[in-house]
């Protein structure tokens, strides 16, 4: 998968995951009888966050950092910091409890994006292998 396609897909997956997470939290808060409101620019901030948070994924393609696990830790740390900063700038949280909720959503979205990306890579690998197998069979 080329890097531009990966960045676009991850931007979509991250934004979708954030919207799903915030929708789930707001539904739970509504069921608990609490009020939850968002700012007028919230949707734009989510799309911007999705776009900005897709770029650190390029670290995962770096061959300079050898153990893949270290790349994942660096990737997670950069995104954790970015989401904390973006959350503060866009007022996604106001206190420690709402910060914990935002970070919980972040962790769920992080896992969601990894699972979906892995599924897409496996699907692409399978298609490539099938094409190679059919090409070898024709020869």
Q: What is the 3-class SS of 44-81, one letter each residue?
A: HHHHHHHHHHHHHHHHHHCCCCCCHHHHHHHHHHHHHH
pLDDT at 81 over 90: yes
pLDDT value for 107: 95
What is the per-residue pLDDT across 5-25, written as a single tens digit (0 to 9) for each?
888 988 999 999 999 999 998
């Amino acid at each position: 998968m080329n890097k531009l396609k990966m960045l676009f897909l991850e931007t979509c997956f991250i934004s979708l995951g954030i919207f799903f997470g915030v929708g789930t939290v707001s539904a739970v808060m509504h069921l608990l009888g609490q009020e939850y409101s968002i700012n007028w620019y919230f949707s734009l901030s989510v799309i911007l966050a999705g776009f900005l948070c897709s770029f650190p994924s390029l670290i995962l393609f770096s061959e300079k950092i050898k153990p893949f696990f270290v790349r994942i830790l660096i990737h997670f740390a950069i995104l954790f910091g970015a989401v904390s900063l973006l959350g503060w700038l866009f007022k996604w949280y106001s206190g420690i409890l709402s910060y914990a909720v935002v970070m919980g959503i972040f962790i769920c979205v992080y896992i969601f994006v990894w699972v979906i990306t892995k599924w897409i890579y496996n699907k692409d690998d399978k298609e490539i292998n099938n094409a190679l197998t059919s090409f070898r069979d024709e020869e």
